[in-house]
Amino acid sequence: EAQVTQNPRYLITVTGKKLTVTCSQNMNHEYMSWYRQDPGLGLRQIYYSMNVEVTDKGDVPEGYKVSRKEKRNFPLILESPSPNQTSLYFCASSFGAGTNTEAFFGQGTRLTVV
């Protein structure tokens, strides 16, 4: 089954404790991205990757890191989480960044930083 898998689904952590949210896709997609979803703000892009070893900032990259060492994986790293990073996070993938490229989303990771 074609899918984007995120782990964990739920995470509660303390301020400053490094964490990683994993994302993996099995569709051989080149383009992957991370979004955060907050009430009243919709989906905002954090980082994206157009291919292996190619990453770039989205609209809200502060406090986040990503890496793309393999085509299928695109982990999101919070080196020193803060309470304002409490949010619902989605990973997405698509064949490319051009036209007619449906983005497939994972199930989401609900992160709480206390």
Residues in the site for another protein, rule: CB under 8 A? 4, 33, 35, 40-45, 48, 50, 56, 58-59, 90, 92, 97-103, 105-108
Shortest Å distance, C-beta 27 to another protein: 14
Cβ nearer to another protein, comparing 39 with 69: 39
Cβ nearer to another protein, comparing 84 with 101: 101
The span from the CA of 106 to the CA of 56, in Å, is 20
Tell me whether strands 76-78 and 19-25 are parallel, antiparallel or unpaired: antiparallel
Closest CA to 44 of 10, 4, 12, 85: 85
Identify the DSSP state of 85: G
Q: Please, where are the H alpha helices in the chain?
A: none
Shortest Å distance, C-beta 48 to another protein: 6
Shortest Å distance, C-beta 78 to another protein: 20
